[in-house]
């Protein structure tokens, strides 16, 4: 009775610890891509770039608006050339000296004012700068879309890499169970004198090799899951169960989910659209450089209030107000403007060359992506057919071995072939999904993203 109480108390004490263990989180492919968009720092950086570009538009537009500045100053004159000049007869005895309203030689000088500068003509500099800023906004917005497509493809590869790694573990575990059963049967036959020691040693070596392979696959699975957790913003030590498998016919569903998450709908590649905006930006840069040759005309006004008393708020303030037009004509700057025009024209030529190259490479990558999908489909069909044949061959070999009609070597070779065929089938299923995803997301991916799995 005492022992039962002790056991019960131990179970009750262990219950909270068991309850605190986190349950595995079920994660589908759709959940993964949605979580990755929220957790991706690269998307946040791209959106911040859009905010910066939009602020640049406001800054460029300010060139059309007047500027108003307030000024305030105080000046104390210690010694002046006007100190011996008389501005009137000296005061009579007992009278105060008259206050001089002239600015010459005053010991105190208080000045408060407003300055206005309204542009009338700036040589089209503001227009060119505004075109540059707006092109920058469009490039940044396209960058957000491209970044989202890259994030979706990245998390998709990580998800199916982890799924493949888990499938490899499952295959290795089944193969290890088969190898252990073969070793037990061989060991029993050896004890009964029906099996030579050579077969027993081979069975033991095959089982141990399979254990090593299982450990390697488990490490790959754990590393893949850690990487996937990082991409979706999940704690790296949280248990995770992947619900989207490789052995289901859901390729088009996966592709549709990725397309919606990435927001890729345009037929034209974002990289080409960015290159076109780059050309427009450089064209505006050439216009801005040429605009530096033109004069600048502005309306100016200066409103000032002056006081010469030691206590300015007790005295009289005098008003100065001027209006006018200012003209600035560039004459000679040491050929700096000419050099800047040449630099801008060279940048424009480079942007046009990049656009042409992007268009050519894009056509090649479209064909390459389609070829990768076609090859992946054929490989999957062949690997599935091979895996079925290998499964049937292993069943026959196992039956022949149990009946004594074949050797242990034949059984081991057949089992190795079955495991390899199943691994190839799982990898082909993963490659097809990634190839279709890459093909579907290619409009949003940067140039050079068609190849590779």
Helices (H), 301-453: 336-402, 408-441
- Per-residue pLDDT of 163-191, as tens digits, reads 999 999 999 999 999 889 888 888 888 88
**Residue 17 has what pLDDT?**
41
Q: At a CB cut-off of 8 Å and minimum separation 6, what does 377 contact?
A: 432
Between CA 244 and CA 155 the distance in angstroms is 13
Between CA 350 and CA 371 the distance in angstroms is 31
Percent share of the chain, pLDDT over 90: 60
Is 102's pLDDT higher than 80? no
Average pLDDT over residues 73-94: 72
- Per-residue pLDDT of 44-72, as tens digits, reads 999 999 999 999 999 999 999 999 999 99
User: What's the DSSP call for residue 313?
Assistant: G
If we measure between CA atoms, which residue out of 301, 304, 300 comes closest to residue 73? 304
**8 A C-beta contact, residue 20 and residue 128:** no
Is 329's pLDDT higher than 90? yes
Between CA 344 and CA 290 the distance in angstroms is 9
Question: What value does the mean pLDDT of the chain take?
Answer: 86
Mean pLDDT check: name the lowest of 21-30, 414-423, 425-434.
21-30
For the chain, report the end-to-end CA distance as a whole number of angstroms. Answer: 64
Angle between helices 125-191 and 270-291 (to 10 degrees): 150
- Per-residue pLDDT of 266-315, as tens digits, reads 667 899 999 999 999 999 999 999 999 999 999 999 999 998 887 877 77
Between CA 167 and CA 174 the distance in angstroms is 11
**8 A C-beta contact, residue 380 and residue 428:** yes
- Which tokens hold the place of 28? 């589908």
- Which tokens hold the place of 321? 């107000």
If we measure between CA atoms, which residue out of 317, 308, 386 comes closest to residue 108? 308
Between CA 182 and CA 407 the distance in angstroms is 12
Average pLDDT over residues 245-250: 82
Average pLDDT over residues 18-23: 54
Between CA 367 and CA 361 the distance in angstroms is 10
Is 13's pLDDT higher than 70? no
β-pair type (67-76, 240-242): unpaired
**Residue 451 has what pLDDT?**
61
- Per-residue pLDDT of 211-240, as tens digits, reads 999 999 999 999 999 999 999 999 888 888
Average pLDDT over residues 407-420: 86
**8 A C-beta contact, residue 294 and residue 274:** no
- Which tokens hold the place of 249? 């016919």
Is 435's pLDDT higher than 80? yes
Between CA 412 and CA 179 the distance in angstroms is 8
Is 20's pLDDT higher than 90? no
- Per-residue pLDDT of 360-370, as tens digits, reads 999 999 999 99
If we measure between CA atoms, which residue out of 148, 118, 160 comes closest to residue 325? 118
Average pLDDT over residues 241-259: 88
- Which tokens hold the place of 394? 């292993």
């Amino acid at each position: 009775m005492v022992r039962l109480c002790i056991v019960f108390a131990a179970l009750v004490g262990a219950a909270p610890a068991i309850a605190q263990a986190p349950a595995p989180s079920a994660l589908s492919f759709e959940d993964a891509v949605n979580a990755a968009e929220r957790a991706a720092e690269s998307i946040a950086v791209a959106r911040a770039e859009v905010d910066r570009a939009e602020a640049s538009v406001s800054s460029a537009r300010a060139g059309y608006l007047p500027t108003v500045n307030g000024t305030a100053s105080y000046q104390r004159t210690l010694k002046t050339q006007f100190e011996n000049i008389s501005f009137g007869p000296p005061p009579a005895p007992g009278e105060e000296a008259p206050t001089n309203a002239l600015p010459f030689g005053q010991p105190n000088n208080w000045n408060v004012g407003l300055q206005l500068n309204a542009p009338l003509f700036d040589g089209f500099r503001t227009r060119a700068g505004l075109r540059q800023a707006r092109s920058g906004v469009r490039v940044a917005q396209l960058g957000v879309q491209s970044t989202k497509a890259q994030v979706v493809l990245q998390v998709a590869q990580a998800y199916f890499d982890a799924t493949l790694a888990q499938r490899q573990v499952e295959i290795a575990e089944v193969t290890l169970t088969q190898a252990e059963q073969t070793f037990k049967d061989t060991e029993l036959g050896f004890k009964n004198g029906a099996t030579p020691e050579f077969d027993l040693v081979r069975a033991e070596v095959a089982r141990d090799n399979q254990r090593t392979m299982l450990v390697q696959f488990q490490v790959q699975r754990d590393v893949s899951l850690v990487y996937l957790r990082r991409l979706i913003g999940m704690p790296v030590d949280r248990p995770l169960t992947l619900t989207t498998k490789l052995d289901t016919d859901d390729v088009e569903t996966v592709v549709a989910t990725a397309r919606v998450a990435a927001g890729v709908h345009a037929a034209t590649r974002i990289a080409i659209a960015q290159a076109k905006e780059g050309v427009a930006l450089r064209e505006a840069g050439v216009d801005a450089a040429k605009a530096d040759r033109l004069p600048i005309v502005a309306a100016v006004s200066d409103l000032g209030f002056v006081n010469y008393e030691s206590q300015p708020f007790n005295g009289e303030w005098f008003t100065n107000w001027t209006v006018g037009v200012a003209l600035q004509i560039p004459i000679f700057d040491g050929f700096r403007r000419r050099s800047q025009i040449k630099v801008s024209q060279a940048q424009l030529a480079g942007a046009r060359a990049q656009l042409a190259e992007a268009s050519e490479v894009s056509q090649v990558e479209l064909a390459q992506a389609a070829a990768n999908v076609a090859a992946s489909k054929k490989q999957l069909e062949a690997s599935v057919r091979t895996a079925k044949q290998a499964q049937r061959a292993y069943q026959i070999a196992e039956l022949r071995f149990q009946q004594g009609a074949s050797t242990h070597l034949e059984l081991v070779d057949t089992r190795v072939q079955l495991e390899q065929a199943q691994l190839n089938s799982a990898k082909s299923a993963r490659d097809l999904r990634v190839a279709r995803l890459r093909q579907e997301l290619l409009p949003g991916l940067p140039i050079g993203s068609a190849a590779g799995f």
